Structure 1
Amino acid sequence: MRRVQADAVLNRPLALSAARTAVLQHTLKTAGVTALFDDSDGFWTGAPLWKEDGIAVIGIKGLLLAGQGGWGYPYVTFYGDVQARLEEALNDASMKAIVLYIDSPGGMVSGLYDLADRIFDARNIKPITAVLADEAYSAAYAIASSAEKITVPRTGGTGSIGVLMLHTDFSRMLDQAGINVTVFRYGEHKAELLEVEPLTDGARDRAQETIDRLGEMFVDLVARNRGLDPQKIRDMKAETFLGDDGVKLGLADAVMSPDAALIALRDALN
């Protein structure tokens, strides 16, 4: 588990809230929809799908990673698992609406925008609502914004529309320990973000250019999904917003507890 998380964080573009890299266990009980909580393990994994009262609820929690991880990773959700559950819900004629039940600080950029586009397109098939159990920051907000409607608790949060990448330079520590690492390359820019050597100015510039391009893609995605002016999103400077503040900025549609949001959707369908 630690190796999966390390590979997902170091030298990769991330859409992740720096202030929320650890997501606490959250016990969730809903009215009218099966409780989103595994009493045996204390967490849900694998983007589970609950079905009740014509509503398909997809659980999206914790760190978001590319690919498919199946079951067994606590507080981690894989984009491929979310899309698989989405397709299942879309193909189930008994399900009249889909809920993305989100509590996440974000995660990897890889695979994110493709999933967001699929959710956005699926709005033409069935109504999709993002119900925030608490927070949807960064990559999690990209997913939430792709739904037709977003509800957020008054103490929950939206935003962090930005991209970051972490590079750790261990070269001075290695020098102090008397360890000399020699890197042999074919191709001037091969593996230029290695942690065993300082970044060159060129490597730093190229990394920043990549982050800027991915950030603009994020801005364009949210602008399309939410009908917002791209400059308004840039002016947010990747800030996070509490409950009603996010609604006022157009990042969410209503301040509602998760229970209230699910009950309202159920009543509307009935």
Structure 2
Amino acid sequence: MKRVQADAILNRPLALSLGRAGILKREIEASGVLAFFDDNDGWFSGAPVWRSGNVAAIGIGGVLLAGKGSFYPYVTCYGDIRESFDEALADDTVQAIVLAINSPGGMVSELFDLADHIYASRSKKPIVAILADEAYSAGYALASSAQTITVPRTGGSGSIGVIMMHTDLTKALSDAGIAVTVFRYGEHKAELNSVEPLTDGARERAQADIDRIGEMFIDLVARNRGLAPDAIRDMKAETFLGEDGVKLGLADAVMSPDAALEDLRANLT
């Protein structure tokens, strides 16, 4: 069994839908780690590539993390996605690339560079995002970098926002009779740790970082989808079901994954 450390999630900016973020936070606080079954239990790892004739489909599923070499179900790493994407891009037998996405989002680290790379590759080959179900937050950032997006009628898009979670354990420690002394060099060193209450300054600095990253996210989606930044801000990181996302310009058509793939293949020259 392999594990994802808690510091990959807590006290870091996340482009992750709120429901999944809350679940991850509770599980981490309970155990300190997230545990997943490995490949021996039948789950795929990395960002697998499936071929359908001259189309390469890259699987992007579950929580998205920085780095590469993931062997966990419900987790895909940005480095693995880029490696699979670049291989498909360089393969002359591949005429189009599908980002097959079912993800609630994930880490901000490495996200924007990968999204920019996909966007910049549009001129080389057709790149389409086919949502198997949902593409929220970081998952939507990647989907928006493709030329077109299809979403199932019961699938979802959106959650264009950023979240960061901080756990304050000071009362629990005090109730347990535990006193923690923090020694630091540098006034702001480790100011988001869980054994001290947040200062007003720490809270303001953390919010400023989240606001800055949130504006980067809005600018990325506005460029990728040709939408007005204010229109995206007005969505307030809401998620949208099927046709509702299409009406707002977050997706191009409501289609099942199978129908979307057949439509793509039929329109390739």
| TM-score, shorter chain, exceeding 0.5 | yes
Whole-angstrom CA distance in 1 between matches of 2:48 and 2:123: 23
Residue ranges of structure 2 left out of the alignment (5+ in a row): 25-38
User: Secondary structure at 1:164's aligned position in 2?
Assistant: coil
State the identity as a percent: 70
User: Secondary structure at 2:267's aligned position in 1?
Assistant: helix
Task: Judge conservation of contact 1:44–1:75 (CA < 8 Å) in 2.
Answer: no
Task: Judge conservation of contact 1:152–1:243 (CA < 8 Å) in 2.
Answer: yes
1:171-210 matches, cutoff 5 A:
171-210=170-209
Partner of 2:239: 240
1:1-270 matches, cutoff 5 A:
4-21=4-21, 41-70=41-70, 72-269=71-268
Cα deviation, residue 105, structure 1: 0.2
Moved over 6 A (4+): none
Cα deviation, residue 19, structure 1: 1.8
User: Secondary structure at 1:62's aligned position in 2?
Assistant: strand
Cα RMSD for the two superposed structures: 1.7
Code of the aligned partner of 1:144: A
User: Secondary structure at 2:4's aligned position in 1?
Assistant: helix
Cα deviation, residue 7, structure 1: 1.8
Whole-angstrom CA distance in 2 between matches of 1:44 and 1:258: 19
User: Secondary structure at 1:208's aligned position in 2?
Assistant: helix
Code of the aligned partner of 1:176: D
Cα deviation, residue 104, structure 1: 0.4
1:140-193 Cα distance to aligned partner (Å, 9 max, x none) = 000000000000000000000000000000011101111110000100000000
Task: Judge conservation of contact 2:135–2:157 (CA < 8 Å) in 1.
Answer: yes
Cα deviation, residue 42, structure 1: 4.6
Cα deviation, residue 2, structure 1: 7.8
User: Secondary structure at 2:141's aligned position in 1?
Assistant: helix
Code of the aligned partner of 2:249: G
Partner of 1:29: none
Code of the aligned partner of 1:151: T
Whole-angstrom CA distance in 1 between matches of 2:42 and 2:130: 20
Whole-angstrom CA distance in 2 between matches of 1:2 and 1:168: 25
Deviates more, 1:125-134 or 1:1-10: 1-10
User: Secondary structure at 2:117's aligned position in 1?
Assistant: helix
Deviates more, 1:43-52 or 1:108-117: 43-52
Cα deviation, residue 259, structure 1: 0.6
Whole-angstrom CA distance in 2 between matches of 1:152 and 1:41: 29
Whole-angstrom CA distance in 2 between matches of 1:233 and 1:2: 38
Deviates more, 1:57-66 or 1:14-23: 14-23
Count of residues paired in the alignment: 254
